[in-house]
Amino acid sequence: MELERLDFSIEKLGEAHFPSPMKGTRFVEDGDRVVFHSHPEKIKAYLEKGQDPPALELAGPRELLFFDPSRVRCGIVTCGGLCPGLNDVIRAIVLCFHYHYGISPIYGFRYGYEGLNPKFGHRVVELTPEAVDRIHQLGGTMLGSSRGPQPVVTMVDTLEELGINILITIGGDGTLRGAHAIVEEIKKRGKKIAVVGVPKTIDNDISYIERSFGFETAVAEARRVTQSAHTEAVSARGGIGLVKLMGRESGFIAAYTVLADNDVNFCLVPEVPFTLERFLQVLEARMVKRGHAVIVVAEGAGQDLLGQPLERDASGNPKLGDIGTFLRDKIRAHFRERGLRIDLKYIDPSYTIRSGPPNAQDAALCLLLGHHAVHAAMSGRTDMVVGYWKGHFTHVPISLAVSQRKRIDPGGHLWESVLAVTGQPRDMR
């Protein structure tokens, strides 16, 4: 039996020897870890081979800091698409620096990595407790955002010019790759600048991280939409509600929305291929039997059916074809051909599920992610991202987090539950 080789070791800028000003706090010890696997047999297998089972370093405040708080200048940047809770994370970082380490203001770069490139002329924003007072009640990001990379050398020049020694990046896969490139350039220059990421992915598709902020809020909003679709479907004769949701390569939003709504009859995700013929056949059978149906399709599902060439956007993500309108038209054509009357309502909620403020659960998550990013940076950790695993906040090396995209396992419990609640066939190929 071959064991997985997972290296969760975290890079540090150097020896931590400044005492933390967080008097009386229960500090996390450097050896504290949470085991990666859940199943006793897997863990035993490592130990039997004389290996430590893979485990993630716990996040939290450290008793000794790498940085002297009186010399810290921190910059924050938010990148990529909006996600509920961005302002909460910004606020948590600013307040943690201020109240726990006596560091204020923090510097906010505007419009993503553009803010680190002088050619765009975006001014740096000073973030004080007053400046972030009530931003958590608003959606979006007060710093603005943008997609795509900027030249690494330029960005590190900016950090040096401003005397920034901690950079916190809030963003997804592409942002983390950018952060890693910045770390490489910093190393090349021999500088002591910590780069810590807060993972932002509304699709919840970053590996080795169980929960990302904004995801639950997005699911809650998506459920509002599928409930609309269900109401429309049952109120019409031959009613079909078709909803397109986010999910480029991973269908987590679609899958969890289906579990949360549980009036959905078909869930189509990128991870589980299907053919149009089979899907239409199964849909027709349901319509004949039950008279209505609700279909949820993740935007990245069924891309092979669209037969179009691959293009990529500014973030390097593949440009997707529109599976929603494609299915809409194909379904209508199919039933017309078959002489069966249907009344299909198509809903694409698009940006509405991501631009509001976070729900209570996500707000708490943002708060703690922000705090833990600050603690990690102050302790001199770098090239890492704050994660969440089995109830604990953790440190995850960026290289591991971006090594592969987290996707639904079609043989795992989540998809099994989706099949159980929709009643759709396991295989629609």
Contact set for a second copy, span 7-66 (CB under 8 A): 24-26, 32-35, 37-40, 43-44, 47, 52-53, 55, 60
**In terms of CB distance, is 279 or 393 closer to a second copy?**
393
Binding mask of the shown chain, residues 273 to 312, with x at each position contacting a second copy by CB under 8 A: ----------------------------------------
**In terms of CB distance, is 390 or 429 closer to a second copy?**
390
**In terms of CB distance, is 77 or 225 closer to a second copy?**
225
Partners of 245 in the beta sheet?
298
Partners of 65 in the beta sheet?
18
* Beta carbons within 8 Å of 35's beta carbon, 6+ residues apart: 43, 53, 54, 55, 390
Q: How far is the CB of 193 from a second copy (least distance, A)?
A: 25
**In terms of CB distance, is 22 or 195 closer to a second copy?**
22
Residues in contact with a second copy, counted by CB under 8 A, come to a total of: 91
SS3 assignment, position 122: coil
383 is a contact residue toward a second copy (CB under 8 A): no
**In terms of CB distance, is 17 or 49 closer to a second copy?**
49
Is 203 annotated as catalytic?
yes
Q: Which helix (H) or strand (E) holds 232?
A: helix 215-235
Contact 373, 93 (CB under 8 A): yes
Binding mask of the shown chain, residues 134 to 173, with x at each position contacting a second copy by CB under 8 A: x-xxxxxx--xxx---------------------------
Residues numbered 71 to 130 that lie near a second copy (CB under 8 A) are: 82, 91-92, 96, 99-100, 111, 114, 120
Q: How far is the CB of 308 from a second copy (least distance, A)?
A: 18
Partners of 170 in the beta sheet?
78, 198
SS3 assignment, position 97: helix
Instruction: List C-alpha distances in Å: 127 to 92, 132, 416.
Output: 11, 7, 46
Residues numbered 220 to 239 that lie near a second copy (CB under 8 A) are: 220, 222-225, 227-229, 231-232, 234-237
Q: How far is the CB of 196 from a second copy (least distance, A)?
A: 18
Say which of 203, 261, 263, 383 is annotated catalytic.
203
Cα-to-chain-centroid distance, residue 173: 8
Angstrom distance (rounded) from CA 262 to CA 67:
50
Angstrom distance (rounded) from CA 151 to CA 231:
50
Q: How far is the CB of 361 from a second copy (least distance, A)?
A: 5
DSSP 350-418: GGGGTSS---HHHHHHHHHHHHHHHHHHHTTEESEEEEEETTEEEEEEHHHHTSSB----TTSHHHHHH
Mind telling me the catalytic residues?
Answer: 203
